[in-house]
Amino acid sequence: MVTESREHPADAEGGERLRGHAALHHARERMDAAIVASAEDALGWAGNLHDALDELADVLRRHREASERPGGSLDEMEKMEPRLSARIERSRAEHQPLIDRTETLRETVARQVEGGRVEVNHLRGIAGRLESDFRDHIARGIELTYEAFERDMGGEG
């Protein structure tokens, strides 16, 4: 298993944890970089992917908690723009499956590292689909935020 102790990747300079959109953006970039990195050293590549998945799982859990808690961002959006409720519910419904897929892949990577045989192309494919779905979730969230808080619904102008 990948057990080497490292500073959490979501921690910024001075040990302060990245929050909100900055953490989501950082986790997405980290995943992308880990996926496309050279795999000449397959075990090292897998270790980097594992670390990126660890960060992504943490960021997704914090994102879900912040957006789904009572009075959180999704409740606020729905209160301001009830017409967005179906899209808001879709966003809620995406959180746990993304977390589950991230944790499952992280466990798969750890097992392969423990076994000393890393299937780089297979892991890249799974990680790429996960990163793409995560990126799409972020984009839909940005659109929802714009629709709920920024969009001018008419008037003078």
pLDDT tens for 51-73 read 999 999 999 999 999 999 999 99
Q: For 102-141, how does the pLDDT look when each residue is reduced to its tens digit (9 = 90+)?
A: 999 999 999 999 999 999 999 999 999 999 999 999 999 9
Mean pLDDT of the chain, nearest integer: 86
Residue 18: pLDDT over 90: no
The residue behind tokens 């997704």 is 60
pTM, two decimals, is 0.82
pLDDT higher for 100 or 154?
100
Q: Which of 29-38, 41-50, 111-120, 137-146 has the lowest mean pLDDT?
A: 137-146
User: Which one is predicted more confidently, 19 or 13?
Assistant: 19
What is the rounded radius of gyration, in angstroms, for the C-alpha atoms of the chain?
18
- Which of these ranges, 5-9, 62-66, 153-157, has the smallest mean pLDDT? 5-9
Q: For the chain, which residues make up each domain, given as ranges?
A: 13-150
The letter for the amino acid at 66 is A
Q: What integer pLDDT is reported at residue 149 of this predicted model?
A: 82
Per-residue confidence band for 155, with pLDDT thresholds at 50, 70 and 90: very low
